Chains A and B, each alone.
Chain A
């Protein structure tokens, strides 16, 4: 990143960021009951297509955003990281539901205690399951992040898991 970007490149970055944030191709990594809420959000009552995120891609090569929806077990963890590795940059990760944020109410031999122990997470959407309004709120936060990523010319540092989730 050059220190003094010219007027033209900053305008161009802003335009590209605007285009990028309204063409989110998500990879839904759905493992559990949160998937129902994800589907409710994707369908016409809540309609994620308003945010340009209406076309889920079921190939990580074609996706920009990894939606991790549902509990991740230790047995599943290598698969999840592999899917993340297969996605092309720039890529973002959304932790959908409290199980992916912290492990949720699972405290046992099988469950990963939050996917941020495996991947850099950009947006946390807690809830068991989160309401579609929360998902849309998370999606808009993600859009802001994507826009900023273009404007700053670099990807924002992955968020640390907040001590308290603000709802």
Chain B
């Protein structure tokens, strides 16, 4: 598996990179929060990288990850889900990037060089704020609003950081693992 992009980023920003791995051809770099904008603009502007497409921005809440057994989703049909550790792989997934509760994940693609890179930024629960990439990729605008809406992670310098999917009156952030599954916040009440 090629690790050329990981190598380039690690050589250029040795202080910002926390870890890296290539899992089945997908190259991932785990970054310090403060290094995000520098690395991202480097990825966009360097002629041999030219990550001109921001494919996705999302987040992960690791607060219950691995702390409770996965529910047997296919128990009714008796289908066993093989753990990924059982699949032979020379470079297995290393698990959550850090002890931090959240991780914000960026997926970049270069339509010129046809290569991809994933950046993962661990975010502590006590300070859920990081720099916006909207000035670099306008695609980040709505994606960062979605991350704010669903996970409550703020983006510094975002031009219009408000909810995008849920309504303004909604309290909380529904994709956080501590949001109760059955909690409803109806805008208009039931008639019966």
B partners with A: yes
A residues in contact (CB < 8 Å) with B: 74-75, 77-78, 81, 107-110, 112-113, 116-120
Contacts of A119 in B (CB 8 A): 191
In contact, A109 and B188 (Cβ under 8 angstroms): no
A117 with B179: in contact, given A74-B167, A75-B166, A110-B166 (CB under 8 Å)? no
Is the C-beta of B96 less than 8 angstroms from some C-beta in chain A?
Answer: no
**Cβ of B63 to closest chain A Cβ, rounded Å:** 17
Interface of B is mostly: loop
**Cβ of A68 to closest chain B Cβ, rounded Å:** 15
Interface of A is mostly: loop
Q: Which of B163-192 contact A (CB under 8 A)?
A: 165-167, 174, 179, 181-188, 190-192
In contact, A78 and B184 (Cβ under 8 angstroms): no
A-B contact pairs, 17 of them (CB 8 A): A74-B185, A74-B186, A75-B166, A75-B167, A77-B186, A78-B187, A78-B188, A107-B182, A108-B181, A109-B166, A109-B174, A109-B183, A112-B186, A116-B192, A118-B188, A119-B191, A120-B191
In contact, A74 and B192 (Cβ under 8 angstroms): no
In contact, B187 and A109 (Cβ under 8 angstroms): no
Which 9 A-B pairs rank lowest in CB-CB distance, beginning with the nearest? A117-B190, A109-B174, A75-B167, A74-B186, A74-B187, A77-B188, A78-B187, A78-B188, A77-B187
**Cβ of B163 to closest chain A Cβ, rounded Å:** 10
A107 with B181: in contact, given A75-B166, A75-B167 (CB under 8 Å)? yes
Nearest-neighbor residue (CB-CB) of A108 within chain B: B181
Contacts of A110 in B (CB 8 A): 165-166, 174
In contact, A118 and B166 (Cβ under 8 angstroms): no
Contacts of B182 in A (CB 8 A): 107
Q: Which of B4-34 contact A (CB under 8 A)?
A: none
B residues in contact (CB < 8 Å) with A: 165-167, 174, 179, 181-188, 190-192
Docked CA distance A112–B184 (Å): 9
Docked CA distance A153–B179 (Å): 50
Contacts of B186 in A (CB 8 A): 74, 77, 112
Contacts of A120 in B (CB 8 A): 191
- Kindly identify which residue among A81, A109, A117 contacts B185, using a CB–CB cutoff of 8 Å: A109
Docked CA distance A107–B182 (Å): 7
Docked CA distance A78–B174 (Å): 20
Contacts of B165 in A (CB 8 A): 110
Nearest-neighbor residue (CB-CB) of B173 within chain A: A109
**Cβ of B188 to closest chain A Cβ, rounded Å:** 5
- Kindly identify which residue among A75, A108, A118 contacts B191, using a CB–CB cutoff of 8 Å: A118
**Cβ of A49 to closest chain B Cβ, rounded Å:** 33
Contacts of B190 in A (CB 8 A): 117-118
Contacts of A107 in B (CB 8 A): 181-182
Contacts beyond the supplied A75-B187, A110-B166, A113-B184: 18 A-B pairs with Cβ under 8 Å: A74-B184, A74-B185, A74-B186, A77-B186, A77-B188, A78-B188, A108-B174, A109-B166, A109-B183, A109-B184, A110-B165, A112-B186, A116-B192, A117-B191, A118-B188, A118-B191, A119-B191, A120-B191
**Cβ of A121 to closest chain B Cβ, rounded Å:** 10
Nearest-neighbor residue (CB-CB) of A120 within chain B: B191
